Chain A
Amino acid sequence: AQKVTQAQTEISVVEKEDVTLDCVYETRDTTYYLFWYKQPPSGELVFLIRRNSFDEQNEISGRYSWNFQKSTSSFNFTITASQVVDSAVYFCALSGMNTGFQKLVFGTGTRLLVSP
């Protein structure tokens, strides 16, 4: 079975602080993909990143960075110098070969509140 755990239900920070959102996953697949999505109050899920299981290289995109560690089954997301516009619910998700790449299994999300 596949499972994604986002233990942090809600995080509150003040603007310009760095914040890390945790994601731990479980899968028996050797080939899988990990994702992060942002869901602002408008409700639309916005794709942020996709990472396949064979690529453990960390990635940085502007203020966003991702740390993928297969040894701990984690795919954490860090926002540097947070801004009010970063306030949203962030979801980590997983898709794997055996259950089909057409399905995403989502975590329960972490609500990030950035105050000015």
Chain B
Amino acid sequence: GAGVSQTPSNKVTEKGKYVELRCDPISGHTALYWYRQSLGQGPEFLIYFQGTGAADDSGLPNDRFFAVRPEGSVSTLKIQRTERGDSAVYLCASSERQGMNTEAFFGQGTRLTVV
């Protein structure tokens, strides 16, 4: 596709369940980023991949959050034992080169609601 694709667009889950959120970056983009946006706030950095490796995961809030990018393209953000406080829009972005000083393109996000 032409842009960053995120699936599902909406996810409702029960507290304590496991969820996976998928991000398909723009073809050829080596850098991939995950951000989380709570209601009324700006996005907050979670994790950054350069190729297959997580180059910076300092934004992950705790060990219930994990992300992978096994082939250097699609990435999956995984949340275990979800809590109501995890409810937010999860945004993915990709860029052609390393670093957000280059132009990064964002997807439309996955809205996660934990009930």
Instruction: State the CA gap A52–B101 with chains docked (Å).
Output: 8
Which of A43, A50, A103 sits near B45, CB closer than 8 Å?
Answer: A103
Query: Does any Cβ of B come within 8 Å of A77's Cβ?
Result: no
CB-defined contacts of B112 to chain A, threshold 8 Å: none
Cβ B100 vs Cβ A101 within 8 A = yes
Residue in chain B with minimal CB distance to A101: B99
Cβ A47 vs Cβ B89 within 8 A = no
Which of B41, B43, B50 sits near A45, CB closer than 8 Å?
Answer: B43
Cβ A108 vs Cβ B100 within 8 A = no
Instruction: State the CA gap A93–B89 with chains docked (Å).
Output: 18
For A, the interface residue count at a CB cutoff of 8 angstroms equals 25
Least distance between A24 CB and chain B CB atoms (Å): 14
Query: Does any Cβ of A come within 8 Å of B103's Cβ?
Result: yes
Residue in chain B with minimal CB distance to A109: B42
Cβ B42 vs Cβ A43 within 8 A = no
Cβ B108 vs Cβ A44 within 8 A = yes
Query: Does any Cβ of A come within 8 Å of B55's Cβ?
Result: yes
Query: Does any Cβ of A come within 8 Å of B23's Cβ?
Result: no
Cβ B100 vs Cβ A103 within 8 A = yes
Instruction: State the CA gap A91–B100 with chains docked (Å).
Output: 15
Least distance between B44 CB and chain A CB atoms (Å): 7
Least distance between A85 CB and chain B CB atoms (Å): 18
Chain A residues proximal to chain B, CB less than 8 Å:
4, 33, 35, 37, 42-47, 50, 52, 91, 93, 95, 100-109
Chain B residues proximal to chain A, CB less than 8 Å:
3, 31, 33, 35, 40-45, 48, 50, 55-56, 59, 89, 91, 93, 98-101, 103-109, 111
Top 6 nearest A-B pairs (CB, nearest first) are A106-B42, A101-B99, A45-B106, A102-B48, A103-B45, A44-B108
